[in-house]
């Protein structure tokens, strides 16, 4: 015989299941939609996917006679730039389109989860950034670079560093887009942040001689830290000073991974608050 408590628990489980199903459905909706929007536009697709790989090929032509490990490091720096650029451009541009067309007024009238909205967009950004990253690394190989995983423990660090970079830089786009409410600002101005970060830190901290800033700070900035982590784990080299990647010493300790996690968590908290409060007008936290 089924007791009232059991019946209540079954009903609660069913409601939770239903909510999870709806949440995942909404994540999928936003992911699919963002990917389709990009796929439907050859211009957008080429701009975001071919730009970093194209840059790497261009450098390859200029850098004849440069040591293999230096080309590899530069390719990682450019690949991270590509991921940042895509995250800023795609995430910002598509979000700005929704804002400019007043689509959020319609979304607010629907039972939508702001976290599903944010997660879906971020998932699409990560997929595109991953494609651009791999293409740029391949371009690095074509231009004479070589890559190898330092060890088994490098695999989660590389994956984590890449994901956290994407998450952080996508959220950076949110406040700019939300307060500018303009597709053009999102299309042209927001990606410039990535470009400035890349150029202003010597290819994201892999060519320290070119960077106007120097010292330990290159192991702490949200663009240079993941890049230097990735270089350490993907480029088969040991003499980083000779390659021009150090000083500072490479960020090899777990504390640097932890710092990246902190950056990403902070970004997600800020992004969630802005999406909840400003876009969905539902208070600061879900």
Partner 1 sequence: MSRQEPTERSGDDERNQSRDRPCIRVSSLEKSFGDEGVLKGIDLTVETGELLAVMGPNGVGKSVLFSCLAGSDHPSAGTVEVLGADPTTRSDTTGFLLQDALCVDRLTGRENLRFYEQLHPNFTDDWREYVEALDIADDLDKRVENYSGGMKRKLELAIALSIDVPLYLLDEPTAALDLTMIQAVHGLIREKQAEGKTVVVSSHRPMDVEIADRIAFVADGRVVATGPPDELFEAVPTVVETRLSNAEALAEIARGGEVFQGNGGVRGFLSADSVEAVDLEGTADAEFEIVSPGYTDLFNYYTRLSPTNGR
Per-residue H/E/C for 253-283: CHHHHHHHHHHHHHHHHHHHHHHHHHHCCCC
7 binds partner 1 (CB under 8 A): no
Separation of alpha carbons 260 and 247, rounded Å: 20
105 binds partner 1 (CB under 8 A): yes
Among 13, 17, 101, 242, binds partner 1 (CB under 8 A): 101
Dihedral-angle region of residue 66 (phi above 0 means left; psi in -120 to 50 means alpha; beta otherwise): beta
102 binds partner 1 (CB under 8 A): yes
Among 8, 9, 17, 36, binds partner 1 (CB under 8 A): 36
Measured from the CB atom, is 113 or 146 closer to partner 1?
113
112 binds partner 1 (CB under 8 A): yes
157: tokens are 């660090």
22 binds partner 1 (CB under 8 A): yes
Separation of alpha carbons 264 and 41, rounded Å: 30
132: tokens are 């651009």
97 binds partner 1 (CB under 8 A): yes
37 binds partner 1 (CB under 8 A): yes
- Which range in 18-26, 149-157, 187-195, 242-250 contacts partner 1 by CB under 8 A? 18-26
Separation of alpha carbons 76 and 62, rounded Å: 17
Question: Considering the complex, what minimum distance in angstroms separates the CB of residue 110 from partner 1?
Answer: 5
Among 2, 3, 40, 239, binds partner 1 (CB under 8 A): 40
Separation of alpha carbons 26 and 34, rounded Å: 12
264: tokens are 């990403």
| Footprint on this chain of partner 1 (rule: CB under 8 A) | 15, 18, 22, 25-26, 28-30, 32-33, 36-37, 40-41, 97, 101-106, 108-112, 281-282
């Amino acid at each position: 015989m089924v007791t009232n408590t059991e019946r209540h628990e079954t009903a609660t489980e069913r409601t939770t299941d239903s909510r999870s199903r709806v949440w995942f459905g909404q994540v999928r909706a936003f992911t699919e939609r963002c990917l389709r929007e990009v796929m439907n536009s050859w211009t957008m697709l080429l701009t975001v996917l071919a730009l970093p790989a194209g840059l790497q090929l261009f450098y390859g032509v200029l850098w004849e006679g440069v040591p293999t490990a230096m080309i590899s490091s530069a390719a990682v720096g450019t690949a991270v730039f590509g991921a940042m650029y895509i995250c800023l451009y795609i995430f910002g541009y598509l979000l700005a389109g929704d804002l400019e067309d007043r689509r959020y007024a319609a979304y607010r009238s629907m039972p939508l989860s702001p976290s599903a909205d944010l997660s879906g967009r971020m998932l699409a950004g990560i997929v595109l950034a991953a494609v651009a990253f791999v293409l740029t690394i391949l371009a690095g190989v074509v231009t004479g670079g070589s890559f190898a995983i330092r060890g088994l423990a490098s695999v989660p660090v590389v994956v984590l560093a890449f994901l956290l970079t994407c998450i952080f830089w996508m959220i950076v786009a949110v406040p700019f887009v939300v307060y500018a409410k303009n597709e053009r600002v999102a299309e042209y101005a927001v990606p410039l942040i990535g470009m400035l970060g890349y150029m202003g830190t010597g290819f994201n901290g892999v060519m320290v001689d070119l960077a106007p800033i120097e010292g330990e700070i290159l192991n702490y900035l949200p663009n240079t830290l993941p890049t230097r982590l990735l270089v350490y784990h993907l480029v088969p080299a040991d003499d980083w000073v000779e390659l021009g990647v150090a000083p500072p010493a490479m960020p090899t300790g777990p504390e640097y991974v932890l710092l990246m996690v902190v950056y990403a968590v902070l970004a997600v908290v800020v992004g969630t608050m802005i999406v909840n409060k400003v876009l969905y007008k539902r208070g600061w936290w879900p």
